[in-house]
Amino acid sequence: MHYTIAVLCLLVSFHCCFSVPASPRDYKLFADLPKCSTEEDQLSDCVKHIFNTLTPRLKDGNEELKIPPYEPLVLNRTSFQYSSGNVNGRITMRNAKLSGFSTNVAKEVNVKLKDGKVKLRMVTFMPKLNIAGHYKADLQVNQLQLKPKGEFNVTLTNVEATTITDGEVYEKDGHRFFRMKNIDSNPKIGDLHIKANGIFQDPELDQIALNVANQYWRDIYGIMLPETRQYWQPLLLRMFNEALELVPIDGFLKD
């Protein structure tokens, strides 16, 4: 679940700020977007404007620019190993659909560009995010072995994510591109509500477990987020760099 939150916070910035070309040398950009000055204050405001302009516009995708819809965003399979205290095991999600991304808004953006080096800090906010799909787990809690599987539905409200990255500008095919070296995302949640089945064979025990989880979700979240960070952050870095190889930044920067 926490991997999913982080993925969403970053995927929006990719799907909404860049377009995928028809071929490696056919780079297409949004002609109606402004070109940003490289002055720090103006660059930050310009990137914020582009993000907030394209987020609602591209929720249904763009066939000409070959951008897929992201509302809902579908994750076929997400898995991570968990080990903390008395809980150990693996949790896998399948066919998860995430909805609410089109309401994501950039609140704060700070971009620094100097001598080909880039640093970016962005704070985004989503009023509501819903994640629904199938799950399967193999967990050991103290001496108890659990293998739950079933459906889940998680609703998060007031999701604020702070994303920090640094990288470098390089040249290819006569264009300038951006490559990330590090990335860190920290999502914070106002409230969270979980629905699920298949935790236990007895539906009444399922409900008891869900009541406990919904009551103490802040404690659970605080433990699981750092525990799973080692799995989803390298994946995000690789995913972004593969996408950014096709996206020249010339179309967004003044010479």
Mean model confidence pLDDT for the chain: 81
139 residue type, one letter: L
| Residue 229 confidence (pLDDT) above 70 | yes
The pLDDT tens digits for 186-202 are 889 999 999 999 999 89
Straight-line distance from the first to the last Cα atom of the chain, in angstroms, rounded to the nearest whole number? 42
Q: Domain ranges for the chain, please list them.
A: 2-252
230 near 81, Cβ under 8 Å?
Answer: no
The pLDDT tens digits for 161-189 are 998 999 999 998 888 888 989 988 888 99
Q: How far is CA 177 from CA 109, 111, 180, 253, in A?
A: 20, 16, 10, 11
Alpha-carbon distance of 110 to 40, in angstroms, equals 8
Q: How large is the C-alpha radius of gyration of the chain? A: 20
DSSP 251: G
The pLDDT tens digits for 29-72 are 667 778 888 887 788 998 899 889 888 988 887 777 666 788 99
Q: What is the average pLDDT across 17-27?
A: 45
Alpha-carbon distance of 23 to 6, in angstroms, equals 29
- DSSP H/E element including 123: strand 117-141
Looking at domain 2-252, its CATH architecture is: Super Roll (3.15)
Of the spans 7-11, 97-101, 132-136, which averages the highest pLDDT?
A: 132-136
